Amino acid sequence: MTRLYLTRHGQTEWNLEGRMQGSKDSPLTKLGLYQAKQLGKRLEDLNIDLVYSSSSERTMNTAKIIIADRKINIIPTDQLKEMNFGFWEGMTFEEIKVQYPDLYQCFWNTPHLLSQCPGESFEQLKHRVVTFINKIVEENEGKDILVVTHGIVLKILIANFKGLTLKDIFKDQVLKPTSLTVVEVENNNYNIVKYGDTEHYNLKVEE
């Protein structure tokens, strides 16, 4: 059996400011760094074989903090980067809502009907990330794999594991920074055994 430990990066400055990040980046906040340390402590006794991380700075830094001094290879990849939001990147959600009200509502409420994309389409993102995850699962059968990525990437992957269409990707709860989703894979069946868990938020670690 192959296990995927899926997580989102720690809180960033743009998360705090309510800005769309996408392919752009902003540093982890003090809380974001702490969240990564908390998840690292939670996972420290697990025998993780390898780590795949989005090549974005916020995810790579999160991955490095989680792994700490363990001798585990962290593999950066553009295939796990967040959805490209085009001209929305760097804008606040409120600015987008005011300037592009119809597009904004369609993006969050009926993503399957979104035809005018500010950047990457949901279909393009789905093809990119699902193809990549299927590939690493096939290449690493029987291993425990940590995947450090982004909110909408995770929403797409989880919907795909459940056999849901794009219209349902935002129906589950929002995935918090460094929340943990665990998926067991056997015979090409993806079974979600833990979703968006933040139990480690209660752990005390050094700041």
What pLDDT, on a 0 to 100 scale, did the predictor assign at position 205?
95
How do the domains of the chain map onto residue ranges?
2-202
Q: Rounded distance, CA 33 to CA 13, Å? A: 11
CB atoms inside a 10 Å sphere around CB 16: 12
Mean pLDDT for each consecutive 10-residue tract of the chain (207 residues)? 99 98 97 99 97 99 98 97 96 97 92 81 95 98 98 97 94 94 96 98 93
Q: Rounded distance, CA 76 to CA 34, Å? A: 22
- First CA to last CA distance, the chain: 36
Element (H, E) at 76: strand 74-77
What pLDDT, on a 0 to 100 scale, did the predictor assign at position 207?
83
Q: What is the CATH number of domain 2-202?
A: 3.40.50.1240
Number of H helices and E strands in the chain, helices first, is 7, 6
Length of the chain: 207
Residue 165 CA to chain centroid, in angstroms?
18
What pLDDT, on a 0 to 100 scale, did the predictor assign at position 191?
98
CA distances for 119 relative to 16, 23, 60, angstroms? 23, 10, 23
What predicted TM-score, i.e. pTM, was given to this entire model?
0.96
What pLDDT, on a 0 to 100 scale, did the predictor assign at position 77?
99
Tokens of 38: 């908390």
Tokens of 115: 């035809």
What pLDDT, on a 0 to 100 scale, did the predictor assign at position 172?
85
Parallel, antiparallel or unpaired: strands 180-186 and 2-8: antiparallel
Tokens of 91: 């804008």
